Structure 1
Amino acid sequence: MADSKLIRGTMLLSGAALASRILGLVYIFPFTAIVGQTGVALYQYGYIPYTVLLSLATLGVPLAVSKFVSKYNALGDYRTGYRLFKSGLVFMAISGLLAFFLLFFLAPVIAPIVVSDPTATEGNSFEDIVFTIRMVSVALLIVPLMSVVRGYFQGFQSMGPTAVSQVVEQIVRVLFILAMTFSIVQLMNGSNGLAVGFATFGAFVGALGGLGVLLYYWVKRKDNILAEVEKSKVDHQLSLREMYKELIAYALPLSFVGLAIPLYQLIDSATFNRTLQAIGYSQLEVETYFAVFTSTAHKIVLIPMALATALSITLVPTITKSFTNQDHSLLQRQITQTYQVILFLTVPAAVGLAVLAYPVFGTLYSIEDLEIGGYMLRYYAGITLFFSLFAVTAAILQGMNKQKYAVIALAAGLVIKLVTNISFLKAFGPLGGVWATYAGHLVSIAVTVWAIGKFAHFRYTLIIKRAILIALFAAVMAIGISIINVGMQSWFPLTSRGNALAIVLVTVSSGAVLYLYISYRSHLAGKILGDRFRFLKKTNSPSN
């Protein structure tokens, strides 16, 4: 019964996380249509430092609190978990307040780091950047508090409050962003700076929605929880110092690994614009490239990553049990399956995005910025594979209680990104930031893959063979969709979003059919996805 509750809760959280991510991806398309690429750049100037500070303020609290509470609840000590919950609310309130003050008052210091010329007449002004950062900073007063409440509910293996609050928070945030920006720009003829500032304030409004959901669940369940606390048979009487020492031991690795993408983008925030302006790019050009790199193209590459991790996430929690029980045979199969699913889904997605970068960008955003958007997406598309591999290998290490190697891997990658970013930008222009991101993730993945091989005694022979086969099939698919793409553009030139959409619909569907057909005929699809989609398994397919 407990296992089924845990599995159901895990699936519920996974579904909520996927729904939240999809909502976070979809809103960017109409938002970009309203405020343009420079408006998106301004949004990122505020949101990137906010995300980093939020992660530092919360320190991976939800999962850490859930592990702590679950552990002591299992020992019959509900009182210790409740004491942590009460003190955690106070601690997170103080942490959030300090983070708010830090971001709010540092806004005038951050703005000159992002854009070097205060007298520039094009692009976003210093005042707009400061306003945007200060508007988003208000959310830091609420979000850390929610993390404690979510973690406490999860400690009782109750995932519903977290799942529902995440989805409600995202829905409220997205609706507020779109309503405010449309009203300010289209109805009131207001400035982009004002519209984007209120858009980032959506993080606070969304947090209010999520907090309201959690308060509803707390009022509904408070009596039962307090009854459990009163009936506690054991009381470990841990001091606050002992409780927080244990909590931090859980939280720090989780928090740091979760910061991977925001920390990469923080490095770009501090170096991308200034370096490109120093070598001759105008502020308007730089901000358009920055918006595409850190947001609009970035959101596109996250789509296949979300699909891949959603399918493989059910495997990762079971790795902990296999590793703990020293069931090496099962552990090998689980890791093999996880790698295969990620490669099977993300390699063709990355290749397809690279080939179809221009029509895809034109369909989702606009034809006006197609040259820059398609250009950046073509070379950035492959990062979806790197993001997916790092996320999954870090999760596997976490399941094996070797999360410190994931932290080491991320630290090594960040050092590479930091060291190479400016020199690559000078050498390759806007693509330098892309190449530096690839280099950093390549190093991080090398460390995590090595660590999994060492501590799980995992042999990569089969994975290498499958990766070569998948890459070959993806190359065949790329040739096919390239031919179709060229032919379609002779009939539907990329001069309108309608033409771009027609090209994308035909090429993507053709590419998917071609890739899946080859995979099916070669038995590869059946071997990798057969347990999920039994019709893919042929009765005469050879064994693995």
Structure 2
Amino acid sequence: MSSSKFLRGTMILTLATFLSKFLGMIYIFPFAAMVGQQGLALYQYGYQPYTILLSLATLGVPMAVSKFVSKYNALGDYRTGYRLFRSSLLMMTLTGLVAFLLLFLMAPTIATWIISNPDQLNGNELSDVTFTIRMVSVALLLIPAMSVFRGYFQGFQSMGPTAVSQVIEQIVRIVFILTVAFFILHIFNGELGLAIGFATFGAFVGGIGALSVLIYYWKKRKPLMMKQIKNSTAHHQLSWQDMYKELIRYALPLSFVGLAIPLFQMIDLFTFNNVLMSIGYTQQEAETAYGAFAASSHKLILIPVAVATAMSVTLIPTITDSFTNKNHSLLQRQVTQTYQVILFLSIPAAAGLSVLSYPTFAVLFGLEDFDIGGHILRYYAPAAVFFSLFSVTAAILQGINRQRMAVLSLMIALIVKALTAALYLKWFGPIGGSFSTLTGFAVGILVNMWAIGRYVGYKYKKLFKRTLLIVLFTALMIVAVMIVKNGAEVIFPLHSWRNALYIEVFSVITGAGLYFILSVKSGLAALIFGDRFSILKK
């Protein structure tokens, strides 16, 4: 495959991944309008265990299949990749079945871990939690095996099937979630627990949509693939043991590091409600706060994270190339640029989201729970910077073949989170979940940055100076935003959705405009993104 065609495929997959994640963020707004923060909490009760079980069922195998198949295809051995594909398809089907049975049968027990002392008067019932977990568990029968198809196609540098199936899966899932919730709640006047349970079943329905796309591509391209397999110029005749040993070596670091945010959320899932209820919160208050924290605020934070990582993801493969070719000066510049892009985008986004937390929450999720939602978002917003930095520093470590350090830093971060989660919730109430997450990720990032400095010989002096400039411009932006926000609140008291929208629009335009002007006129944007900003400086 030509380099231009490969680049095109990579860009298509990157855009599709971003679109899929973006759709996965914005659907939460109309969904929250239908089910409320307590409904979102119930939705998270099902999805968090499902996410962990899905990752354990696949163990990063799909991505590893892609790397394995690509390697042996390049050596002219298409037969070995096909052997692995068929074997992995069977293995993922079996692990998916085991994961489904485990989650389905353990659902009542997991429900008691989430809410150990339920208040049946104003909280979600344990039976609803159990039903939700069981409904989403069905997707485990399908998704793991389906993901092997994606990995195999990518091993042939064919990104189209994965890209199209990702987008179709997300669209089908979202349409099903919103439709079924609307019909159950507003047409048939059904119970909230029933609506949420069927909404989580959307994971399985979306999987069917994606699998249909993949089967279509498989039937279309199978004759050519079979011809390539038949005409293989090499055959390594790997034993099953050697084949899976190599596969697991690729898979485990990718899988574990990718689980960073879900594992942090899993700790919150089993501590948040129980600790808050132990210090005097009702179940309804605890669940509303959990919904605002783990669903609403978390989705908002992922927007700047997605933008930042999408901007920097193209730099990571070049870091691997520079490290392999021992081009240390280029490697230093690439690491610096990666850091700068992340900080330039995420720091002002997080700061703005924190300062505008109340009107932002009111505009997107309504006024019903915006007091607690805005309060939590204000302190959780800095996680956008921490999530971005951790994912990028972990990717850099993987790029320089230091996957073990990335895994070690995550383990340390999880230990810190686990040790501080309940303690911070007792001390600070609902915002304690934010503080323990920030503390854990901060420790993990420091370990990653130390490892990059040690193994690459990276010097942070230049980065430190430019970060100070970013922080200075962000501080000036925040001062301007606060002036506009406070002035707007005098004219438009935060008592209606329309007034919240006015406050939000005026403040965002002021903040984004000022930060853009400062970064361009100072030359900071040109230093980070190149000369494409130089004409604006003039």
TM range (shorter): over 0.9
1:295-334, aligned counterparts within 5 Å?
295-334=295-334
* Offset from partner CA, 1:424-475 (integer Å, 9 cap, x none): 1111111111111011000100011111111111110011001111001100
Question: 1:60 is matched with which residue?
Answer: 60
Which position in structure 2 is the counterpart of 1:184?
184
Q: Which residue number in structure 2 is paired with residue 485 of structure 1?
A: 485
Summarize deviations over 1:348-372 as a string: whole Å, max 9, x none. Answer: 0011011100000000101110110
Query: 1:357-376, aligned counterparts within 5 Å?
Result: 357-376=357-376
Aligned counterpart, 1:497: 497
CA distance in 2, matches of 1:13, 1:68: 19
Query: Which residue identity lines up with residue 153 of structure 2 in the other structure?
Result: F
- In structure 1, the partner of 2:147 is 147
* 2:194 is equivalent to residue 194 of structure 1: yes
d(CA) in 2 for partners of 1:397 and 1:147? 25
In the TM superposition, what is the alpha-carbon distance from 1:234 to its structure 2 partner?
1.3
Change (3 A) 1:536 1:410: farther
CA contact (8 A) 1:526 1:536 kept: no
User: How far does the alpha carbon of each residue in 1:109-128 deviate from its partner, in whole angstroms, 9 at most, with x for none?
Assistant: 00011112245221200000
What letter is aligned with 2:268? D
Shift of 1:55: 0.6
Residue pairs, 1:386-397, within 5 angstroms: 386-397=386-397
| Aligned counterpart, 2:417 | 417
Which amino acid is 2:443 matched to?
V
What residue in structure 1 maps to residue 175 of structure 2?
A: 175
Contact 1:367–1:494 (8 Å) recurs in 2: no
Quick one: structure 1 residues 535 and 165, their matched pair in 2 at CA, closer, same or farther if it must change by over 3 Å?
farther
Q: How far apart, CA to CA, are the structure 1 residues paired with 2:177 and 2:40?
A: 12
Deviations 1:31-65 (A, max 9, x none): 00001111000000000000000011111122100
* Corresponding residue of 1:217: 217
Matched, 1:267 2:267: yes
**TM-score when scaled to structure 1?**
0.97
Q: Which stretch has the larger CA shift, 44-53 or 390-399?
A: 390-399
Q: Structure 1 counterpart of 2:356, which letter? A: L
Partner residue in 1 for 2:75: 75
CA distance in 2, matches of 1:530, 1:497: 40
* 1:214-265: CA deviation from partner (whole Å, max 9, x where unpaired): 0000000000001111111211111212111110100000000110111001
Aligned-partner Cα distance in 1 for 2:484–2:526? 27
Corresponding pairs, count:
538
Instruction: Give distance in 2, aligned partners of 1:536 and 1:216.
Output: 47
Alignment partner, residue 476 of structure 1? 476
Partner of 1:36: 36
Over the matched positions of the two proteins, sequence identity in percent amounts to: 60
- Tell me what 1:385 maps to: 385
1:213 positional shift? 0.5
Aligned 8 A contact 1:406 1:448 in 2: yes
Does the CA-based 8 Å contact 1:268-1:433 persist in structure 2?
A: yes
Counterpart of 1:31, as a letter, is F
Which runs of structure 2 are paired with 1:411-490 in the superposition (5 Å)?
Answer: 411-490=411-490
- The whole-number CA distance in structure 1 between the counterparts of 2:294 and 2:10 is 30
Range that drifts further, 495-504 or 248-257:
495-504
In 2, the alpha carbon distance for the partners of 1:90 and 1:64 equals 16
Distance 1:393 1:119 in 2: 43
* 8 Å CA contact retained: 1:530, 1:537: no
Gaps of at least 5 residues in structure 1 are 539-544
* Cα deviation 1:468-505 (Å, max 9, x = unaligned): 11001100100000010000011111111111111111
Q: Is the 8 Å Cα contact of residues 61 and 251 (structure 1) preserved in structure 2?
A: yes
Amino acid at match of 1:215: I
Map residues 86-125 of structure 1 onto 2, 5 A cutoff: 86-118=86-118, 120-125=120-125
- Unaligned 5+ segments in structure 2 are none
Maintained 8 Å contact 1:525/1:536: no
Partner Cα distance (1:4, 1:325) in 2: 22
- Once residues 228 and 537 of structure 1 are traced to their aligned partners in structure 2, the CA distance between those partners, rounded to angstroms, is 53
Q: 1:542 matched to which residue of 2?
A: none
Q: Secondary structure at the match of 2:350?
A: helix
**Alpha-carbon distance in 1 for matches of 2:80, 2:223:** 17
Report the AA paired with residue 509 of structure 1.
Answer: I
Check the 8 A contact 1:530/1:536 in 2, yes or no: no
Q: Which amino acid aligns with 1:253?
A: P
d(CA) in 1 for partners of 2:505, 2:158? 41
User: Which amino acid is the alignment partner of residue 293 of structure 1?
Assistant: F
| SS across alignment from 1:52 | helix
Residue of structure 1 equivalent to 2:511: 511
Does residue 10 of the first structure (1) align with residue 29 of the second (2)?
no
Amino acid at match of 1:301: I
Q: What amino acid does structure 2 have at the position aligned with 1:421?
A: A
Q: Does the CA contact (< 8 Å) of 1:529 and 1:536 recur in 2? A: no
Distance in structure 1 (CA, Å) of the matches to 2:299 and 2:398: 26
Confirm or deny: 8 A CA contact 2:119 2:282 kept in the other structure.
Answer: no
1:126-181 CA deviation, whole Å, 9 max, x = no partner? 00000000000000011001111100000011111111100000000000000000
Counterpart residue type for residue 212 of structure 1: S
Map of 1:247 onto structure 2: 247
Give the structure 1 partner of residue 136 of structure 2. 136
Partner of 2:348: 348
Q: Residues of 2 paired with 1:379 and 1:118: CA distance?
A: 28
Q: Tell me, yes or no, if the aligned pair for 1:412 and 1:444 is still in contact at 8 Å.
A: yes
Deviates more, 1:125-134 or 1:113-122: 113-122
2:142–2:204 Cα contact (<8 Å) kept? yes
Other structure's SS at 1:430 match:
helix
Tell me if the contact between 1:16 and 1:166 (Cα under 8 Å) persists in the aligned partners.
Answer: yes
Structure 1 vs Structure 2 CA RMSD: 1.1
Return the alpha-carbon distance in structure 2 between the equivalents of residues 536 and 310 of structure 1: 24
CA change 1:269–1:463 in 2 (3 A) is same
Distance in 2 (CA, whole Å) between partners of 1:410 and 1:119 is 35
Answer yes or no: is the 8 Å Cα contact 1:527–1:537 preserved in 2. no
What's the counterpart of residue 127 of structure 2?
Answer: 127
CA distance in 2, matches of 1:317, 1:190: 50
| Mapped partners of 1:159, 1:433: distance in 2 | 38
Does the 8 Å CA contact 2:520/2:533 hold for their aligned counterparts?
no
Measure how far apart 1:531 and its partner are.
4.8
Tell me if the contact between 2:119 and 2:283 (Cα under 8 Å) persists in the aligned partners: no
Q: Deviations over 1:495-518 (max 9, x none)?
A: 111111111111101101111111
Asked whether the 8 Å contact 2:347–2:385 carries over to 1, the reply is yes
**Structure 1 residues 203 and 420 mapped into 2: Cα distance closer, same or farther (>3 Å)?**
same
Amino acid in structure 2 at the alignment position of 1:526: A
| Consecutive aligned runs of 4 or more in structure 1 exceeding 6 Å deviation | none
